[in-house]
Amino acid sequence: MKCNKCGLRSGYNRVLVAVDDGRELGFLCRRCEATQYGETLREGLWAETDGCALCARDSFVRLPEWSPRLVEEDDHLRLRNEYTVTEETVSLCDEHYATLTGEARRETHPTEGHATPGTERS
């Protein structure tokens, strides 16, 4: 499991799960989460309660945390890592997800004074 942001082993921190079909799109290590978002995702300090945690756009990917669990199998204790996705699981829009993957950024949050492509004024 490699982190989508840095490419190193992600450990069991967060998994990136597509909202539309539940596919695992990748992983996010603790270091990259802290660098990119500080304590925002972990502490629930996001601005929006519906959709993307960082802006008002729709959710594209959910970021549940892995939860370790001990299970008994054949008289042995085994560690299993699982995650649960709910409506309350922190989410990001496609643009904020792209910052984790290095994909080309779409111009959907225009900067003041700059026109969004296709909306230039004469």
- Domain assignment present for 9: no
Give Cα 69 distance to the centre of its chain. 22
CB 57 within 8 A of CB 95: yes
- Domain assignment present for 44: yes
- Domain assignment present for 35: yes
- Domain assignment present for 46: yes
pTM of the model: 0.73
The DSSP call for residue 104 is P
Q: Read off the pLDDT of residues 15-65 as tens digits, 9 standing for 90 and up.
A: 999 999 999 999 999 999 999 888 888 887 766 668 898 888 999 999 999
| Exposure letters 13-22 (e unless 16+ CB within 10 A, then b) | bbbbbebeee
- Domain assignment present for 80: yes
CB count, 10 Å around CB of 63?
A: 23
- Domain assignment present for 8: no
Number of domains composing the chain: 1
Q: Is the pLDDT of residue 109 over 50?
A: no
Residue range of the domain that includes 45: 14-101
Q: Is the pLDDT of residue 117 over 70?
A: no
